[in-house]
Amino acid sequence: MQIRLLYGTETGTAEILCDDIKDELDGEIECEIQSLEDVGPSDLSTDALNVFVVSTTGSGDLPFTAIPFFDKLQAEKPDLSNIQFAIFGLGDKTFAATYNFGSETVMNKLLECKAKQVGQRGIFDAASNEMPEEVALPWLRETLEGASVS
């Protein structure tokens, strides 16, 4: 199995989390990591699961590396019905009114473009005592059980 880890980050945590996931799955699942800054809708994988890892900044805003990708989805409205994705959000419950809005915004836009979501959106609370990978890895393993990509 192959997965594509696509991160949207403001201060680097989402990128580090993708590195940790790749290290943990090494030898088991082939992982390619890319910044969403370098990805357009037509670059999404049709044969691997696209796993988005997206934080939130400002007041429920998208992190800067996710904005170009989101803007392209908004402008081009591509048909992504041949794409499978999963999404994991990084947020902080201290921002109660906008908790994890970034990942929710990207998820809703992908669904609007008819991409097929695998599993439920996973979310992480930076105000908790856990590390992001302690939440993301079990979430990903459970999600992959429901994925039908090779």
Ligand X SMILES: Cc1cc2nc3c(=O)[nH]c(=O)nc-3n(C[C@H](O)[C@H](O)[C@H](O)COP(=O)(O)O)c2cc1C
Stretch that binds ligand X, among 22-30, 75-83, 92-100, 142-150 (CB under 6 A): 92-100
Among 90, 110, 144, 147, binds ligand X (CB under 6 A): 90
Task: Print the binding letters for residues 60-79 with ligand X: x by CB under 6 A, - otherwise.
Answer: x--x----------------
The CB-of-84 to ligand X minimum distance in angstroms stands at 23
Q: Of residues 99-138, which lie at the interface with ligand X (CB under 6 A)?
A: 99-101, 126
Backbone angles phi, psi at 116, to 5 degrees: -95, 120
Minimum CB distance to ligand X smaller for 75 or for 97: 97
> At its nearest, how many Å lie between ligand X and the CB of residue 101?
6
Choose among 88, 100, 87, 84: nearest CA to 135.
88
Site membership for ligand X, residue 55 (CB under 6 A): yes
Residues 88 and 125: beta-carbon distance below 8 Å: no
Q: Nearer to ligand X by C-beta: 29 or 99?
A: 99
H or E stretch covering 49: strand 49-55
| DSSP sequence for 4-21 | EEEEE-SSSHHHHHHHHH
Q: Is residue 126 exposed (0-12), middle (13-18) or buried (19+ Cβ within 10 Å)?
A: middle
Give the binding site for ligand X (CB under 6 A).
Answer: 9-14, 55-60, 63, 90-92, 95, 98-101, 126
